[in-house]
């Protein structure tokens, strides 16, 4: 039933975006309600709690507004595109596994590493690269790959290594990844192109990478590591070949998305969603692995789609909550405050308020996607008066910072489970670095805004 319900959401999303007919719009809402009902039976933990709260509050506000019942079906469009992206991501993950790119890159840890700092640098860049394709699956893969090298370190130092190395590299790779939902959502909201914001994202990433490398050298240089003598590592030419293939795949994907967005004019997120599946099949055909890809993707996609219950329940419920909360007077008052900050010549106060809201929301359990949906709805009345590129930068860094520190974020939760540590303790090790990450992003956004406004 989950496969049918979640697939119906995906298909109705495509039809709505392609044809923009009211029939498809209402059908999309109906499938969303069905998906929420089905997902509710399988959702667990924080997702179940927050999703129930969002849906209950949204439903109460809708009933009090005395709106026609059919308008209830129109309240779920905010996050359906995100669900559609989760729906197709397994196709991208599959070609990484089938091509054995993940195994090749993770085995690089063992070649010629002399101390812990060298391992940190190498692991950082492997995590950064794999994270763009494997997404959250990178966390566990890298942690497992590092285990044999951590034997000679104390538990305290090893845990600090895992936390800073993996979570920071993962957050920084998502900062400029076109497949990251926060990036694509921010681009769609501000109406800019990925190419126009990419140089500034790379500047932010470069600054943070240099800073993290300096911090790791101070902390980990000279510490011995153990190597797994029995592990076979691929030859350098094999590694180079895999790297070229991955880089080529990424560049082709970015080019296709950019062209598709320009032609179709349906937004960056939609362009990604419709391209991932054909690109995955084309890769399999080009590499003569179509049969293997087909046999692998069928069970893998079913498993991953069934596992979307948490996201479907929380994100679609959050869409109802955000749409209905926008009708309250309290929101109008808060929008007035944001509007005053936005009207300043240098809206640094607005940027700080946005970032502070994200940090606070992350600490109390809000998923960053829920937060960014709420923030953008608050900014809607005056978003056209703001410089688009700086605003997108603020939204991206503010939303992705939680990957490093929020005890409720899945990245921190996965790593804390692997290390068998409290997620608050794991996240606290990166909190100061996450604030620096936000500060750098806001600084770059402010500088860009100054040049745009001059």
Confidence of residue 330 (pLDDT cuts 50, 70, 90): low
299-308 confidence digits (pLDDT tens): 988 888 888 8
> Considering only 97-101, 196-200, 347-351, which range has the smallest mean pLDDT?
97-101
**Is the model's pLDDT at 168 over the cut of 80?**
yes
The mean pLDDT of 97-101, rounded to a whole number, is: 80
> Considering only 8-17, 33-42, 373-382, which range has the smallest mean pLDDT?
373-382
Confidence of residue 234 (pLDDT cuts 50, 70, 90): low
State the pTM of this model: 0.81
- Going from the C-alpha of 149 to that of each of 107, 128, 140, 318, 352, the distances in angstroms are 11, 19, 15, 42, 40
The mean pLDDT of 311-325, rounded to a whole number, is: 85
**Is the model's pLDDT at 352 over the cut of 70?**
yes
- DSSP states along 153-213: S-HHHHHHHHHHHHHHHHHHHHHT-TT-HHHHHHHHHHT--HHHHHHHHHHHHHHHHHHHH
DSSP helix/strand/coil, 288: coil
- DSSP states along 320-378: HHHHHHTTSHHHHHHHHHHHHHHTSSSTHHHHHHHHHHHHHHHHTT--HHHHHHHHHHH
Of 167, 149, 140, 161, residue with least CA distance to 229 = 149
Contact in structure between 440 and 212 (CB atoms under 8 Å)? no
The mean pLDDT of 231-259, rounded to a whole number, is: 78
CA torsion, ordered 140, 174, 404, 448, to nearest 10 deg = 170
> Considering only 88-102, 223-237, 385-399, 416-430, which range has the smallest mean pLDDT?
223-237
Q: What is the CA radius of gyration of the chain?
A: 22
């Amino acid at each position: 039933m989950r496969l049918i319900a979640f697939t119906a959401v995906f298909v109705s999303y495509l039809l709505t975006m392609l044809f923009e007919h009211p029939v498809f719009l209402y059908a999309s809402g109906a499938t969303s309600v069905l998906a929420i009902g089905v997902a509710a039976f399988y959702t667990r933990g924080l997702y179940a709690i927050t999703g129930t709260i969002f849906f209950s509050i949204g439903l109460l506000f809708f009933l009090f507004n005395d709106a026609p019942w059919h308008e209830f079906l129109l309240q779920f469009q905010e996050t359906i595109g995100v669900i559609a992206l989760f729906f197709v991501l397994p196709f991208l993950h599959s070609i990484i596994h089938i091509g054995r790119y993940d195994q090749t890159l993770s085995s690089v840890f063992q070649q010629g590493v002399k101390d812990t700092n060298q391992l940190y640098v190498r692991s950082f860049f492997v995590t950064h690269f794999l994270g763009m394709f494997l997404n959250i699956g990178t966390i566990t893969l890298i942690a497992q790959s590092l285990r044999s090298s951590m034997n000679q370190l104390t538990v305290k130092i090893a845990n600090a290594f895992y936390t800073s190395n993996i979570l920071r590299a993962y957050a920084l790779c998502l900062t400029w990844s076109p497949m990251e939902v926060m990036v694509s959502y921010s681009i769609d909201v501000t109406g800019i192109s990925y190419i126009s914001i990419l140089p500034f994202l790379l500047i932010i990433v470069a600054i943070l990478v240099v800073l993290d490398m300096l911090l790791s050298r101070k902390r980990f240089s000279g510490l011995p590591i153990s190597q797994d003598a029995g592990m076979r590592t691929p030859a350098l030419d094999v590694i180079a070949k895999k790297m070229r293939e991955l880089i080529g795949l990424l560049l082709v994907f970015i080019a296709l998305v950019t062209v598709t967005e320009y032609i179709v004019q349906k937004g960056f997120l939609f362009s990604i969603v419709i391209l991932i599946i054909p690109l995955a099949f084309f890769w399999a055909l080009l590499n003569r692995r179509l049969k293997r890809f087909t046999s692998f993707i069928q069970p893998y996609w079913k498993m991953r789609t069934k596992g979307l219950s948490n996201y479907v329940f929380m994100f679609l419920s959050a869409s109802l909550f955000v749409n209905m909360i926008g009708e309250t007077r309290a929101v109008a008052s808060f929008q007035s405050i944001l509007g005053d900050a936005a009207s300043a010549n240098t809206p640094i106060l607005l940027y700080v308020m946005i970032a502070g809201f994200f940090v606070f929301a992350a600490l109390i359990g809000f998923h960053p996607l829920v937060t960014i949906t709420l923030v953008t709805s608050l900014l809607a009345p005056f978003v056209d008066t703001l410089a688009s590129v700086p605003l997108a930068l603020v939204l991206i860094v503010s939303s992705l910072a939680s990957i490093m520190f929020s005890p409720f974020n899945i990245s921190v939760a996965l790593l804390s489970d692997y290390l068998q540590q409290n997620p608050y303790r794991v996240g606290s090790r990166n909190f100061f670095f996450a604030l620096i990450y936000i500060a750098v992003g806001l600084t770059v956004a402010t500088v860009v805004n100054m040049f745009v406004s001059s």
